[in-house]
Structure 1
Amino acid sequence: MTSLPENPPSLISEDDRDTAVQRLQEAYAEGHISHEEMDEGLDQVLTAKTHSELVSVLASLPELPEGNAGTTSTIAAAGGRIQRRGAWRVPRTLKVESAFGRVRLDLSRAVFEHPVIDIELQLGTGNAKITVPRDAIVDVEGLHTGWKDSRYKTRRRSRPGGPRIRISGTMGFGRLKIRHARR
């Protein structure tokens, strides 16, 4: 008969793994690690089974400044419109939740305090339109659409230094339209 160790290593959850992947991607986007270091770290994170394995991967990354840790905001409405425009402060992670109604986010004059912004959409029905700054880099790979596909045409030329906007989440019966601001 074998006995179990007194303190078995704690297994990680998918949320822990996702957070570690996000930290590695942020460190790469902010220039703290090279592409090779990110690839190696992602491989280690995706195969890690315990918290100690995750800690060893993330130990070499710079600490998050106090003001940047966990800046998440949620905009939610059961029905009706969700709209943001003008000079509004964009959090590091913006969650937009709407069962019915349309969403309009105009980021063209928004204030960005972070080089990478995550927008997580959880929309039932209704269309969404997002206007991004002219020099923004947009990633929609994490977005799942049910009924209609999203419309986004990447810019041929963009100046370096713009924010990176990652759009993820789920859209049920609406269409997402993303466009770059003209000015």
Structure 2
Amino acid sequence: MVNLPREDPARPISEDDRNTAVQRVQEAYAEGHLSHEEMDERLQQVLTAKTHSDLGPGLASLPEEDAGTSSTIGALGGRIQRRGAWRVPRNLKVESAFGSVRLDLSRAVFEHPAVDIELQVGTGRARITVPRDAIVDVEGLHTGWKDLRYKAPRSSGRGGPRIRISGTMGFGRLKIRHARR
């Protein structure tokens, strides 16, 4: 099946999703998993796909993405904190039942043009600082008790990473802000 996590099959795909799918097909060919003809056929399917379910045939039976592109950080209680020049994986899952979460992405190293962050936070708070030029998408985030605090900048970020935040915030509040520098 499609290895684009947490997406509704009927939802239209973005250019980032399409680029990721094309890259997976090309990598499978380079590693010898596909013949040249099969690569051409799958690229055609991926390039003409409109929804996530349309991507399925083009990505079916391909090897999974590199494990280095996904990571999970979890804690029952206490604090989860990442800051400084740390590498952000393509898919980051953050799980905290009772603690607080603080992710500072302002000086982080982005190896992918789009990053998916899935939050599963129970009663704690979460704060995410994103690069100044980042584009933030919070459509996939469900808040329980308190509303999300995020104000998109007036000027759209160009050249910065696209950060998609999804998941569930139980009784805590999520604050997202853009770095000043």
Amino acid at match of 2:92: L
Residues 98-127 of structure 1: CA deviation (Å, up to 9, x unaligned)? 000110000000000000000000010111
Alignment partner, residue 135 of structure 1: 133
What TM-score does the superposition give when structure 2 sets the normalisation length? Answer: 0.72
Aligned AA for 1:166? R
The answer to whether the aligner puts 1:41 opposite 2:49 as a matched pair is yes
Report % sequence identity.
66
Q: Deviations along 1:148-180, whole A, 9 cap, x unmatched?
A: 010110011134110000000011000000000
For structure 1, list consecutive stretches of 5 or more residues without a partner in the other structure.
1-11, 47-52
SS in 1 for 2:147: coil
Name 2:154's counterpart in structure 1: 156
Measured against aligned partners, the alpha-carbon deviations of 1:73-112 in whole angstroms (never above 9, x if no partner) come to: 0110000000000000000000000000110000000000
- On the 8 A contact 2:83/2:108 being kept in 1, the answer is yes
* 1:23-78 alpha-carbon deviations (Å, 9 max, x no partner): x5434467x6xxxx9896234726xxxxxx931x458xxx99x9x63511011000
Of residues 48, 66, 76, the one that matches 1:69 is 66
Amino acid at match of 2:133: D
Aligned length: 156
**Equivalent-residue separation in structure 1 for 2:47 and 2:173 (angstroms):** 33
Residues 10 and 51 in structure 2, CA contact (< 8 A), matched pair in contact too? no
Match of 2:96 in 1: 98
C-alpha distance in 2 between matches for 1:84 and 1:102: 12
- 2:56 corresponds in structure 1 to 54
The structure with the largest alpha-carbon Rg is 1
Amino acid across the alignment from 2:66: A
The letter for the 2-side match of 1:45 is: S
Q: Measure, in 1, the Cα distance between the counterparts of 2:75 and 2:112.
A: 26
CA distance in 1, matches of 2:7, 2:143: 21
In 2, Cα distance between the equivalents of 1:17 and 1:90?
Answer: 18
